[in-house]
Structure 1
Amino acid sequence: MTAPEFSTATARAAAERDELADWVARFLASPGSDNAGLAVLLSDPPRSWLGPVLLPLDRLHRLAGPAGHPVAQEVEEHEWRDDVGELAERIDEGLEPAPVIVSYREGDLLLEDGNHRVEALRRAGDDHVWAIVGFDDPAARDDFIVRTEAQP
């Protein structure tokens, strides 16, 4: 599980200080995420970051997930690691997992980091997730904000 220093609240505080890019890089390199390579990839070239924002699970394009969802690889329920079920139970008990990391590309929300957290949230009956969203440029970020605000 990720360290307490990486929560929705700490991401929000980093965003208020205009330090969200640093928060994302530190989070991805931390134990639990163990994704330092992705941190480098998502910081070069630098991105515009937004978040944390609450996103519907069914809008995320996931690498792996259940049938009937936008996923690259369908995974049967019994094939998930045991820790996903344990995390789902902890979410049922009130745990809020760290935000997921998402890229916005050509109108799609691509889940970069957090597939197991998203699956655990889904199993716990949640239909939204806190996310940090990366954009290739500030114009794409602004377009996303306008589109999101226009939705009912």
Structure 2
Amino acid sequence: MEYRVSAEEWMAHGAELASHLRAGGRFAPLIVRRGEGRLVVSDGNHRLAALHTLGLPAAWVLIWSDLPSP
């Protein structure tokens, strides 16, 4: 499901999540969808932004695909 938020809401929520991680918090894995030769974040864009903000290079993900296996 796609939805839109204002840039201010996006930045505020990303900052809250970054603070949570900085304080030792954890969160659920990102959910990514496989399709057309790439992975797309389906759930967890704010979490991904928080990881980028903190310069963290990796995250747990669940990969979802409705494509046949190669």
TM band (smaller chain):
0.7 to 0.9
Higher relative contact order (CA 8 A, sep 6+): 2
1:86 paired with 2:23, answer no
Within a 5 Å distance, the mapping from 1:114-125 to structure 2 comes to 114-125=44-55
AA matched with 1:107: G
Task: Give the match for residue 110 of structure 1.
Answer: 40
1:126 paired with 2:56, answer yes
Query: What stretches of structure 2 of length at least 5 have no aligned partner?
Result: 2-6
- In structure 2, the CA distance between the partners of 1:86 and 1:106, relative to structure 1 (3 Å rule), is same
Q: Which has the larger radius of gyration?
A: 1
Alignment RMSD? 1.9
- Percent identical among aligned pairs is 38
1:137: how far off? 3.9
Within a 5 Å distance, the mapping from 1:24-63 to structure 2 comes to 38=1
Query: What stretches of structure 1 of length at least 5 have no aligned partner?
Result: 1-37, 39-77, 141-152
For 1:134 and 1:103, the matched residues in 2 are separated by 5
Task: Give the match for residue 9 of structure 1.
Answer: none
3-state SS of paired residue (1:129): coil
AA matched with 1:114: G
Note if contact 1:89-1:124 (Cα within 8 Å) is conserved in structure 2.
no
For 1:86 and 1:136, the matched residues in 2 are separated by 33
